[in-house]
């Protein structure tokens, strides 16, 4: 590789790293506790957990219509928007709002024990974990914040790729894992930066790519609604809204959908008029029972006035990629052991980012030429 090519790749690595480092450090620091989000919530919600003992909510119990009516009453009126199911406890959540198209700020979330029908109270999105999640996903800026962090994730991926390109000529005369402890502090820091960078390479690239995909969740969902969902709706009577007073039994709608999709379990129901359904249908989303298929959803559209099945269809590939990327991003596939590994790799990535920033700050006016010379001469510089 010629010196000019190495310099070009170095500048790509340098500026892609500089532009994203501060935001990547924030994402790593906030992402650490989010890896253990479920475990932290379980420790801080003993009373709610005790009230939820019993069978998983998706397996039956108190009729859905009864719990939905209870949630609407507890919310002081309005309409149901979503029903969510759990597969490891009998918790069931019902989201309500003043209108079918209510914004998130006007939604209220209620929790129930599906086995007994007992209310576990209203769930409020607040506290430290909610703050960290919002900061991690959109910096409290909504879609613009998500897209901005998606761009930062793209720069992170570019920094990784360019770092690998530079690592090959740099290590041509050094054994893998070499730490030159007798050299200057800057060289020792550079060797540690390179070693941890290559060790965490695959994981960091995966987390960076899945983070970029997650950042575009809203546009991808919108694309699905405007594409496949509209096609499904158009083929079954159009999108003539159904008034909430005319909603058919949700239990009957669920039975119709489960008959068409045996062997899968419901994850959530989107009511008519919301972002995950049409104006006329219940959208019931089903998931598989394995660690992988549990994150791939299959929607069933059921007429909200007649409770008759309208259509079922697999989600498009780009939407499935989004669904699979979210748990992979936080290590939610293999239990606590995988989460611990994710945490260790996150700490290593924090060190890679921090040491890279220190190397850049300590290079001085001739930093670029000095770094390129060292790569060209395979680490001969001090």
pLDDT for residue 374: 67
pLDDT for residue 366: 54
- Average of per-residue pLDDT across 10-32: 93
- Average of per-residue pLDDT across 51-60: 55
Total residues belonging to the chain: 382
CB 89 within 8 A of CB 57: yes
Adjacent-strand bridge partners of 211: none
Q: Is the pLDDT of residue 68 over 90?
A: yes
pLDDT for residue 365: 45
Write out pLDDT tens, residues 257-275.
999 998 889 999 999 988 8
Percentage of the chain modeled with pLDDT above 70: 89
* Between residues 165 and 314, the one the model is more confident about: 165
Estimate the crossing angle of helix 37-44 against helix 3-35, to 10 degrees: 20
Structure tokens at 158: 């570019």
- Binning pLDDT at 50, 70 and 90, where does residue 382 land? very low
Write out pLDDT tens, residues 176-217.
777 777 777 877 888 888 888 888 999 999 999 999 988 988
pLDDT for residue 239: 64
Q: Could you tell me the strand order of the sheet in which 297-303 lies? A: 119-123, 108-113, 91-97, 79-85, 265-270, 281-287, 297-303, 309-312
Q: Is the pLDDT of residue 49 over 50?
A: no
Cα separation of 108 and 16, whole Å? Answer: 41
Write out pLDDT tens, residues 290-299.
766 677 888 9
- Binning pLDDT at 50, 70 and 90, where does residue 94 land? very high
Write out pLDDT tens, residues 324-368.
787 788 887 767 888 899 999 999 999 999 988 888 887 654 567
pLDDT for residue 233: 77
Domain ranges for the chain, please list them: 3-38+132-215+332-376, 55-128+217-330
pTM value? 0.77
Of the ranges 9-18, 181-190, 218-227, which is most confident? 9-18
Cα separation of 55 and 141, whole Å? Answer: 39
- Binning pLDDT at 50, 70 and 90, where does residue 58 land? low
Mean of pLDDT over the chain: 84
């Amino acid at each position: 590789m010629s010196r000019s090519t190495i310099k070009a790749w170095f500048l790509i690595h340098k500026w892609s790293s500089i532009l994203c480092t501060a935001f990547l450090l924030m994402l790593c620091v906030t992402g650490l506790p989010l890896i253990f989000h479920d475990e932290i919530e379980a420790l801080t919600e003993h009373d709610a957990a005790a009230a939820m003992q019993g069978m998983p909510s998706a397996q039956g119990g108190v009729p859905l219509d009864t719990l939905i009516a209870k949630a609407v009453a507890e919310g002081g009126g309005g309409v149901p928007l979503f029903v969510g199911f759990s597969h490891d406890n009998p918790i069931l959540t019902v989201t309500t709002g003043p209108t079918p198209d209510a914004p998130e700020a006007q939604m209220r979330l209620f929790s129930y024990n599906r086995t007994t029908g007992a209310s576990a109270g209203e769930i409020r999105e607040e506290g430290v974990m909610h703050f960290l999640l919002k900061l991690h996903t959109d910096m409290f800026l909504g879609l613009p914040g998500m897209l901005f962090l998606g761009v930062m994730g793209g720069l992170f991926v570019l920094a990784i790729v360019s770092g690998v390109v530079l690592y090959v000529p740099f290590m041509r005369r050094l054994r893998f894992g070499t730490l030159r402890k007798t050299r200057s502090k800057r060289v020792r820091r550079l060797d540690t930066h390179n070693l941890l960078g290559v060790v965490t390479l695959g994981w960091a690239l995966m987390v960076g790519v899945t983070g970029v995909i997650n950042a575009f969740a809203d546009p991808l969902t919108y694309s699905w609604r405007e594409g496949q969902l509209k096609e499904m709706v158009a083929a079954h009577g159009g999108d003539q809204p159904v008034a909430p007073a005319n909603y058919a039994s949700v239990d009957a709608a669920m039975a119709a959908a489960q008959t068409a999709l045996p062997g899968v379990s419901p994850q959530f129901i989107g009511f008519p008029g919301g972002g995950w359904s049409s104006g006329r249908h219940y959208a019931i989303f089903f998931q598989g029972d394995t660690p992988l298929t549990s994150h791939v959803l299959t929607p069933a559209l059921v007429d909200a006035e007649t409770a008759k099945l309208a259509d079922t269809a697999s989600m498009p590939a780009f939407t499935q990629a989004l669904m699979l990327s979210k748990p992979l991003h936080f290590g939610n596939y293999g239990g606590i052991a995988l989460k611990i590994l994710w945490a260790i790799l996150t700490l290593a990535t924090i060190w890679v980012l921090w040491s890279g920033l220190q190397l850049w700050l300590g290079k001085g006016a001739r930093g670029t030429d000095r770094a390129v010379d060292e790569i060209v001469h395979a680490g001969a510089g001090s």
